[in-house]
Amino acid sequence: MTALCTALPDHLCLLLVDDHRIFLDGLSLALAPLCPDLQIHTAQNAAEAERCLRQRDFDLILLDLRLPDIAGLDLLQRWQQQGRMTPVAILSGSDSNLDAQAAIAAGALGFIPKSADGDGLRQAVTRVLLGETLPLTIDKPPLTPRQQEILLLLADGLPNKAISRHLGLAEDTIKTHLKALFQELDVHTRTACVSAARQRGWL
């Protein structure tokens, strides 16, 4: 056992949720040195994860962002609404600060990229288990000041015509800005745009 683990208890029970079996196996091996009596349970989708949670308590859940039956952040928000107190850290193939920001906004205590090596992974997991929220370097929204104004008005439920009147811009200009916002957030509707912006902490 490495020195960084000495503050952890001898017994820990973790739940790893990821739809790739080989990744779960590798993750289990990488986490094995955390403590002498480490129990690891795995789930490959949200339904399996919820079944595990009904059967026992866990010290930490490591949750993938992309699951076959429900998005990881949606699952995390569901657990938050249910009042589930188990700490959750997001494990993701993404190194995006935007994804990290969305994870923290949804209630995760940390965001760990899958590109982390074994030592980095154990260090991150240890810090979350000890009650830390992993520090993040969060980028400001990659939006222009004008786009941020339009996003705020969109969130207020204003139609394009009202936004253009409010900002003194042509309606076509508003549409151009909205198209850029939709592309940035990878959405296709106004409601989804506002929802995605809130998830990322932009609103």
Do the domains 145-199 and 3-129 match in fold? no
Give the CATH number of domain 3-129. 3.40.50.2300
pLDDT confidence of residue 141: 58
Q: And the tokens for 42?
A: 């795995």
CATH 1.10.10.10 assigned to 145-199: yes
Pinpoint the alpha helices (H) of 130-170.
145-155, 160-167
Low-confidence residues of the chain: pLDDT under 50: 1-6, 137-139
The radius of gyration computed from the CA coordinates of the chain, to the nearest angstrom, equals 20
The conformation of residue 32, written as its DSSP 8-state character, comes to G
Residue ranges per structural domain of the chain: 3-129, 145-199
What's the rounded Cα separation, in Å, for the pair 43 and 151?
Answer: 37
Distance, CA of 32 to chain centre = 24
Q: What angle do CA 155, 161, 167 make, to 5 degrees?
A: 70
CA distances in angstroms from 10 to 5, 27, 41, 87, 106, listed in the order given: 9, 19, 17, 18, 30
At residue 200, the pLDDT reads 73
Phi-psi region of 26 (alpha: psi -120 to 50; beta: other; left: phi over 0): alpha
Token pair recorded at residue 183: 């592309």
Q: Which residues pair with 12 in a beta bridge?
A: 38
What's this model's pTM, rounded to 2 decimal places? 0.64
pLDDT digits (tens, 9 = 90+) for 95-111: 667 778 788 888 899 88
The whole-angstrom separation of Cα 57 and Cα 88 is 13
Among left, alpha and beta (phi > 0; psi -120 to 50; other), residue 139 is: beta
pLDDT at 6: 47
